[in-house]
Structure 1
Amino acid sequence: MASKKLTSDEVNALMEGLQDSPQAISIDVSSSEEVRPFAFGEDDLSLMGDYYALRQVNERFARQARSVFLPMLRIQPRITSFAPEVKTFDEYCASIDAFMNLNISRIEELRGPVLLTIPPKFISTLTASFYGGTINSGGGNRSEFTSTEERVIELVSDGLNDALMTSWRDLMPITLVEQGREVNTQFASVVDGAELVIICSFVVQLPGAGSDTIDVVYPLQTLKPIASQLRSRVQTDASHDNISWREQMEKAILNIPLNISALLGEPVMSVGNMTRLKSGDVVPIRINDGVTVKIEDRPFFIGEIGEVAGKSAISLQKRM
Structure 2
Amino acid sequence: MTASATSVKAAKASATPKGETNASLLLRKAEGSYAFPALDSVANQFGRSLRDLLRALGAPAIQVERASADQMSFAEWSAAAAPAIFWRYHAPPLKGPVLVAAARSLILQLVDIFYGGKGQPAAEREDLTDAEERFAARLGRDMGLQLATAWGEKLAVEPELDCVTTDPAKLAAVRADDEMFVQHFTLRGAPFEGRTITCAYPLAALRGIAGADVIETQAANDADPQWSNALNKALRDVRLPVRSVLARPEISLVKLLALEVGDIIPLAMPRHVPVTVAGRSFAVGSIGEANGNAAIMIEEIEKGPNHD
> Which of the five TM-score ranges fits, normalised by the shorter chain?
0.5 to 0.7
Distance 1:146 1:202, change over 3 A: same
CA distance in 1, matches of 2:172, 2:140: 18
The residue identity in structure 2 corresponding to 1:126 is L
1:236 aligns with 2:217: yes
**Cα shift at 1:241:** 8.2
SS at match of 1:112: coil
Aligned to 2:85: 101
Shift >4 Å, 4+ stretches: 42-47
Give the TM-score normalised by structure 2: 0.58
Distance 1:205 1:46, change over 3 A: farther
- CA deviation map 1:131-188 (0-9, x unaligned): 11003x1222211111111122122111111111100011111111121111111222
1:177 aligns with 2:163: no
- CA deviation map 1:249-272 (0-9, x unaligned): 8xx9xxxxxxxxxxxxxxxxxxxx
**Cα shift at 1:118:** 1.4
In the alignment, which of 194, 208, 222 is matched to residue 211 of structure 1? 194
In the alignment, which of 27, 38, 54 is matched to residue 69 of structure 1? 54
Aligned to 1:165: 148
- CA deviation map 1:208-242 (0-9, x unaligned): 5422100111000111033588xx9x963478389
CA distance in 1, matches of 2:103, 2:32: 31
- CA deviation map 1:62-92 (0-9, x unaligned): 1112222122124142001122200111222
Residues 116 and 217 in structure 1, CA contact (< 8 A), matched pair in contact too: yes
1:131 aligns with 2:112: no
Aligned to 1:84: 69
Aligned to 1:283: none
- How many pairs does the alignment contain? 200
Residues 88 and 163 in structure 2, CA contact (< 8 A), matched pair in contact too: yes
- Percent identity, please: 21
CA RMSD of superposed structures (Å) = 3.2
Give the TM-score normalised by structure 1: 0.56
Please list every run of 5 or more consecutive structure 2 residues that lacks an aligned counterpart in the other structure.
1-27, 235-308
SS at match of 1:129: helix
CA distance in 2, matches of 1:112, 1:44: 22
SS at match of 2:157: coil
Aligned to 2:175: 192
Larger radius of gyration: 1
The residue identity in structure 1 corresponding to 2:143 is L
